């Protein structure tokens, strides 16, 4: 396996999670009015990060097998949980931390298999 796949997938999932955070913040003032939409910088940043993360992830997919690379997308759940806890002041529970540990364990198994 190409060793560049893992960092690309990690960066892609992190960018996607940050994008989701911007979309969450932008959603509070979401409007279908084109002028208001253009001025919603959080929404624009979130969408841009999603596009860039998709391009980075496609690069990882080109280098590896789908069945190995795609499970790494579940890392985005971990990033979202951490970012939500730190920046959006959402609550974190022991069940969430346990779930994150199981996700990491599963990604490692899928990547090494």
- pLDDT for position 34: 81
- Given a contact cutoff of 8 angstroms between Cβ atoms, the answer to whether 60 and 69 are in contact is yes
d(CA 72, CA 46) in angstroms, rounded, equals 20
Instruction: Compute the average pLDDT of residues 94-99.
Output: 95
CA distances from 43 to 4, 16, 54 (A): 30, 13, 17
Write out the two tokens for 54: 């998709």
Inform me whether the pLDDT recorded for 113 exceeds 80.
no
pLDDT digits (tens, 9 = 90+) for 43-52: 999 999 999 9
The predicted-structure confidence for 21-50, as pLDDT tens digits, reads as follows 999 998 888 787 888 878 899 999 999 999
For residue 10, the model assigns a pLDDT of 95
Mean pLDDT for the chain? 92
pLDDT for 58 beyond 90: yes
**Calpha distance 4→25 (Å, rounded):** 32
What three-state secondary structure class fits 71?
Answer: helix
**Residue 69 has which token pair?**
């690379």
């Amino acid at each position: 396996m190409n060793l560049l796949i893992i960092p690309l997938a990690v960066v892609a999932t992190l960018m996607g999670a940050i994008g989701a955070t911007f979309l969450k913040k932008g959603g509070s003032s979401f409007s279908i009015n084109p002028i208001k939409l253009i001025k919603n910088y959080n929404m624009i940043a979130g969408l841009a990060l999603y596009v860039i993360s998709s391009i980075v992830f496609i690069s990882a997919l080109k280098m590896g097998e789908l069945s190995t690379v795609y499970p790494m997308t579940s890392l985005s759940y971990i990033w979202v949980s951490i970012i939500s806890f730190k920046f959006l002041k959402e609550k974190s529970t022991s069940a969430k931390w346990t779930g994150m540990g199981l996700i990491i364990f599963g990604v490692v198994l899928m990547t090494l298999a």
